[in-house]
Amino acid sequence: MRHVFLLLACSANALGAQGTTWGAPVKLGIPDSVSLRAPSVVVAGDTTIAAGNVFPKDLDQFAGRRRLAIVRSPGGLLPIPAGSFDFAFPRLARDFRGALHLVWAELSDTTGSLVAWTTPPTSLWHSVFANQRWSRPQKILSARTINWAADGRPMIVDSTGTIHIAVPALLPAADFAVVYLRIDSAGLVTERDFTPGAGYASITRLALDSVLIAYSTSDSLTPKGGSSIIARVSGDGGRTWAAPQAIARQTRRNASPPLIEYTPTGLMAFWAEDARDAGETQTIRAFSTRSPTARWSELAPPYAVDGILVRLVSARAQCDSSAVVAEILGGTANDPTVRLVDVAVRDGRLVGTALFPDLAMATSVGIGADRDQLRLMFSALRRNEQRGISATATGRVCRTM
């Protein structure tokens, strides 16, 4: 049985080559009868709010829609928006007024069955929680298929309360595109479609009103069988966009959204690549640049993944290093494990450190940040135990952003 844990990165002193120190688990109020999947986490001071899909642990009881839970710690469960929705892969953002923005996908099969959750999303919806109530849900995108996944960073909020979204989609006219959506404080939605399309996309808030979209695709310069990581920058809050710039072109196919962080010294980018043949492993790569318009360079040799990469969780900048959390499937067919590995840039190398070795399983990961704090949330099972505990921890991490 898996249980939900919420952890906050803890460090009283320097990080640098030592990386982040993570705190121990303390209880978080998720009922044992459900399993929280694909959590999205926001942090505001000592408060953490997480939204995720809830499925019964007994799949024979799987029926019905509205599979969403929003949990505030401290505080317990929050209400969810009204309506007959699946709430697939919910993503949260908190604006400067304290309002919560929830964006989720609706599936092509609306029966609420277990099979329905194997069908692709075809629409995105948005609702705002303010004054203790949710606004009426608004459809913000319709498409044949939408790659609204549980990893990466598809949504951010800027200092004006504007929501920015980047998501790959197959549009009604059968065009593959990276769709950019801008939702202003009045709820007005503006759409911009970038082609060619992509398998993965993410969005990052830069200084002032600047935002950056990064996505993996192929163009005329991409090596055969490989993929390119492309970035686009807007300096005016998504109203206009500069020409695309290649971060890297590689011979391997991309295996995760490119995660980019804005730091006091420039930009950091992490992503994963698939193995090309049976004799190779998946790898994680790290690049940096002084500014969005400057050339990107690789920081260290690729990190070889020991196992099968499930997902990369949002990268983060630290005082003089950067890191990303990887969720990795390992073990054997009879004794599988899912580990969390902190992959950090240290002394010109990418170094992986296993987190929480007493856990046999650690999956469905979400991470949130608020200035000098990081909180990591996941579902877990302790070794040699049939039941675990739900948990949270508090502390601070050295950050200069």
Are residues 54 and 34 in contact, defined by beta-carbon separation less than 8 angstroms? yes
Percent of the chain with pLDDT over 70: 75
**Any idea which architecture 3-382 has in CATH?**
7 Propeller (2.130)
pLDDT, tens digit, 9 for 90 and up, residues 205-257: 988 889 999 998 887 788 888 888 999 999 999 999 999 998 988 888 888 88
Per-residue pLDDT tens over the stretch 62-119: 667 888 988 887 787 899 999 999 999 999 999 999 999 999 999 999 888 888 888 9
> Could you tell me where the beta strands, DSSP code E, fall in 108-209?
121-130, 133-134, 138-142, 145-146, 155-157, 163-170, 176-183, 189-194, 200-205
User: What is the arithmetic mean of pLDDT over 28-49?
Assistant: 72
Question: Which residue from 140, 65, 63, 130 is spatially nearest to 98, judged by alpha carbons?
Answer: 130
Rama region for 109: left / alpha / beta (φ>0; ψ in -120 to 50; rest) = beta
Mean pLDDT along residues 137-145: 96
Strand ranges (E), 318-358: 322-331, 336-346, 349-355
| pLDDT reading at 399 higher than 50 | no
**Best mean pLDDT range from 21-35, 122-136, 274-288, 292-306:** 122-136
Average pLDDT for the chain: 80
- Enumerate the domain spans of the chain: 3-382
Higher pLDDT pick, 216 / 398 = 216
Which is it for the CA torsion 41, 194, 124, 365, positive or negative? negative
pLDDT value of residue 320: 45
Task: Report, as an integer, the average pLDDT of 10-31.
Answer: 50
**For residue 14, what pLDDT is reported?**
29
